Each structure stands twice: as C-alpha cells, then as structure tokens.
Structure 1
Amino acid sequence: MIEPNNSTKDLKLYSQKSIGLASFIGGPLAAGYLIKENYKALNQAEKGKTAFIISIIATLIIFGSLYVIPESIMDKIPNMIIPAIYTGIIYLIVDKIQGKLLNNHDENNYPFYSSWRAAGIGVISLIILIAIVFASIFLIPDEVYDTYDAEMEQFTKNEEASLVFYDHLNTEENETLLNEIDNIAIPKWKENIEIINRTNSIEDLPSELVEQNKKLLRYAKLRLEAFKLFKNLIIHETDNYNIELNRVHNEIDVVIQSLY
C-alpha cells in the first residue's frame, strides 16, 4: 500500500474513477496499465510491472473462461454483468493499493489525467483484446477442422444409411427389416458413437465442437436405442414397445432441434 504524502504535488496521476472507467471499457489489461503508470510516476516501477503482469494474467483467465462456459449459459448472462463484476473488483483493489494516495492527491487539488484519456486507453485495450480473440480463432490449426469434418462426413453417411430403414418399415418383410437392423442400423450407430468419442480426443478441439459432440453422442445413443426397440417389436410381434419408441423418437426430435 502507498502511504499518502505531499510528494505527489507535481505528479499527474490516474484517478480511481478513471481506472474503473478504463477497466469497464478495456478489461483488466487497461486497469493494469493505468496502475502501472501511477506507480511509474511514483518511481515504483517494479510494483507497476507486477501490477501489469497480474492484469495480463487476469485478462487471460477471464476471457479464457468465456470459451469454456457453454453458450446456453452465456446467453442467459446480461452483457454488462461480467464487465461490471471485474470493474468492481478492480476498483476495490485500486482502493486498497493506491486509494489513500489518490484521495490525498485529490483533496490537495493536485492534477489528474482526464477521464477521456483513461477511456481512450480503455478503447485501445479493447481493440487489442478483440485482435487477440480474432487471432486465436484463425490460429486454430486447419487440421483440427479437417479431421473433425472428415469424421462427421462418415457420421452423416452412417446416419443416412441407417435411416433408409424407415422407408422400408411398411413395405418390407420382417426378415428383411431385421437384417437391416442387425447388419446396417445397429452397426452404423455403434460406429457413430465411436466416431464422436474419437473426435473428442482431437487436440485443441474448439469448445463449440465439444458442446456439439455432447449432443451428437446423445443423438447417436438414442438412435441405437430406437433400433434395438424396433428389433424387439418385430421379433416379438407386439405393440408393447410403442410407448418406449415414441419416447425415444420425441427425445431424438429435441436433440435435433438443439443442434440448429
């Protein structure tokens, strides 16, 4: 903590409010830079460097975590909540480490940089963050998507081959239908489950594809369950499985809708 004294008379500093404003606009990175500049003016460059490094780490943690949180959850969070939270935390930190000095500086009518200047630094920080986000998107190796797309192409072929069964359901003999289930449908959906498990092991798989895989895995398991129920229905020649089939097909519809 910096003890207040009169040594700041000839110094121009960033106020606590200005640091908060810059933080709200440009994240912890902007706040860290302004705190560093205050320390620099006070001839405490090492403390400033430490504060700036901490702000970089905080920025990476905050924005990195946004990639991990599912979109379904992020959509429910108001846009201003996250900036408001980290701005509030930063404001309290500034109050802890520089608050007394800045208050003393203000009470003595010593000069501060304008809020416009702080806001400008916040905007620059925001531009840097946006550039990093775009760079991270484009720097994801193409082979990740190529590998994933190749697996999904086989997934789709398996799906199409198995769903032909529904076209034959009312036109083919039971023996033919059972043959399709045993030799096409069930093996294809077992393979699709393996495909999803393989793609989950792809290194650096983007979070949105990880989330998509969770839905596709659920979809594949439901399809497999449906064909097993069809098999029992045909073998036992009973309608006792219709309720379960309807339930499974309803769940399949829900998963399909969630994929779009």
Structure 2
Amino acid sequence: MEPKKVFSPHQVYVGSFIGGPLCATHLIYKNFIVMAKPKYALITILIGVAFMTFLLLPINFLPEKLPYITFPLLYSGIAGAIVWQFQVSKEEEAVNEEYSFISNWLVAKYSAIYLLVTVLLFLATFYGYSLFGYSYA
C-alpha cells in the first residue's frame, strides 16, 4: 500500500514562518484531511481564520517597540506544536509505514504563495486603515 503523504512538524514550522499563518492553516488542514480527521480539519480552518483576523486588525495599533519577529515565532511555534502533538512526528513516521513526509519543495511552493497572499492582505489592511483616516506611521 502506498504511504499517505503528510507534512512533518519541521516542515509546518518552516512553512508557517515563511508563509505566515495562512500557510500554517493550510498545511495542518491538509494533514488532518489525509489522516481522515475532518472535524479537526474544520477546527483548523476556523482557528486559522480567527488568528489571521486577530493578526490583521490590531496591526496598526501595536507598539512600535514590539520586535517584528514576535508574531512569526509565535504562530510558527504553535503550528509546529500542533502537528507534533496531534499529527505525525518523525519518530512515528519512522516506525509507521502508513505515512511518509511530503517533499520540501512543495512546502517551499506553498510558503511562497502564502507569503504573497499575506503581504497582499497586510497591504489591503493598511490601505483600508488609511481610507478611514488611521495612519500607520
């Protein structure tokens, strides 16, 4: 039987760090679908959308001294921990022939696509704030 392809915790961590929370949501969602856990997949989508909203809406009101790396480290760490805890770890994959990990090139592709989408969402958010008179300087 052909092993099911899933994303490893490390792939999700790196993919989400580069591609943002939308990439993390997509990768975790795909893993839950492959593992036949549609309830968890739906919860992943809902949490991902809520977190992206939480990230976008207050962006104009955050303190200027907050390091830029704070949020990427936060959501990447959470995403990697979710995969490690609820999905497949390297150790499980080594002894379980049911799963194998997806190519890193596919993770790079998803990361690049979601990086572009995230940048466009942030630009749209800044533009929306400027339409309502809020400055981001």
**Shift, 1:130, TM fit:** 1.1
Instruction: Measure, in 2, the Cα distance between the counterparts of 1:94 and 1:69.
Output: 29
Distance 1:91 1:66 in 2: 24
Judge conservation of contact 2:129–2:135 (CA < 8 Å) in 1.
Answer: no
- Determine if contact 2:12/2:24 at 8 Å carries over to the other structure: yes
Mapping of residues 13-28 of structure 1, within 5 Å: 13-28=6-21
**CA distance in structure 1 between the partners assigned to 2:96 and 2:115 by the alignment:** 33
- The answer on whether the counterparts of 1:26 and 1:124 sit within 8 Å (CA) in structure 2 is yes
1:34-183 to structure 2, matched below 5 A, reads 34-71=27-64, 73-74=65-66, 77=67, 79-99=68-88, 103-108=91-96, 110-140=99-129, 142=131, 144=132
Q: CA RMSD in A?
A: 2.5
Larger relative contact order (CA 8 Å, sep ≥ 6): 2
The structure that is helix-richer by fraction is 1
Q: Distance in 2 between matches of 1:27 and 1:44?
A: 23
Counterparts of 2:14 and 2:22, CA distance in 1: 12
Unmatched runs of 5 consecutive residues or more in structure 2? none
Q: Is there any run of 5+ residues in structure 1 with no aligned partner, and where?
A: 1-7, 145-204, 210-260
**Distance in structure 2 (CA, Å) of the matches to 1:20 and 1:122:** 11
Residue 58 of structure 1 deviates from its aligned partner by 1.2
Distance verdict in 2 for CA 1:63–1:111, change over 3 Å: same
Rounded Cα–Cα distance in structure 2 between residues aligned with 1:81 and 1:141: 25
TM-score (norm. length: structure 1): 0.46
Deviations 1:15-71 (A, max 9, x none): 111111111011221111111111111222232122122112112212333321133
Tell me the number of residue pairs that the alignment of Structure 1 and Structure 2 aligns: 136
Q: 1:29·1:52 contact (CA, 8 Å) conserved in 2?
A: no
> Cα offset for 1:128?
0.8
Is the Cα contact below 8 Å between 1:68 and 1:207 reproduced in 2?
A: no
Equivalent AA in structure 2 for residue 33 of structure 1: H
**Aligned 8 A contact 1:39 1:48 in 2:** yes
User: Percent of aligned positions with the same letter in both sequences?
Assistant: 24
The 1-side partners of 2:126 and 2:70 are apart by: 24
Question: 1-side partners of 2:22 and 2:115: how far apart?
Answer: 9
TM-score scaled to structure 2, two decimals?
0.81
Q: Contact 1:9 / 1:105 at 8 angstroms: preserved in 2?
A: no
Give the partner amino acid of 1:86: Y
Runs of 4+ with >6 A deviation:
none
